[in-house]
Every structure is written in structure tokens, then in C-alpha cells.
Amino acid sequence: MNLKSNKQTYKQEGGVTATIFLFLKREVIIDLYSNLQEDIERVLRLGVEPSRIVYSHTRKQRSYLSYASKLKVDLMTFDDEAELLKIKEIFPEAR
């Protein structure tokens, strides 16, 4: 098994800590559980590519889904059919 091709995931719940992200931003996928636009912006300003952010908050607000679409943060999770349908409606390109 080639472990170099496997990326670690760092889950961030709550406020984003700049020091941790500066250390990890090139090595991991950022699992952003926060439902704050400021946290998405902060992670992007630290140089994390949008394709490496997983927007995994359980209940995403419609305005935040639109914002994630605008920033091209397209990888996200969902917990139920209603959340999936909301994502599909607002951000059909999401993965």
C-alpha cells in the first residue's frame, strides 16, 4: 500500500485556529464542520484550496450553501434526504 497517496483528514469544529491550519494546510483535507461563513473565508485565506475543504455541517443554511457555491467549496456531506435535496436545489454541482 502506498501511504503517500492517502491524505489525512483534519476535522475542525468551531472556530478555525490559524496556527493549526498553517501547519496542516498542505497535508490534509480540511473537514469544516463550522456553519460560519467567516470560518470558510478564514480557511481559504490561509491558502487551502476549495477542493480540499469538506463542508460537513449537519444542517447547512441556504445562504451558506449559496456562499459555498460562489467560493467553489463543492465537497459536502449530508445526513438525510431533506438535506441532500436542499444541496441539490441550491448547489447542483456539489459533490
CATH number, domain containing residue 54: 3.20.20.10
Q: pLDDT digit string (tens) for 6-46?
A: 454 545 555 555 555 555 555 556 666 566 677 788 878 87
Q: Is residue 12 part of a domain?
A: yes
Q: Is 69 exposed, middle or buried (0-12, 13-18, 19+ CB in 10 A)?
A: middle
Tell me, yes or no, if the pTM score tops 0.85: no
Is residue 1 in a domain? no
| 39/34 Cα distance (integer angstroms) | 7
The answer to whether position 11 is within a domain reads: yes
In the numeric block, the cell 456539489 is attached to 94
Domain with 39 in it: 7-90
How far apart are the C-alpha atoms of 12 and 17, rounded to whole Å?
9
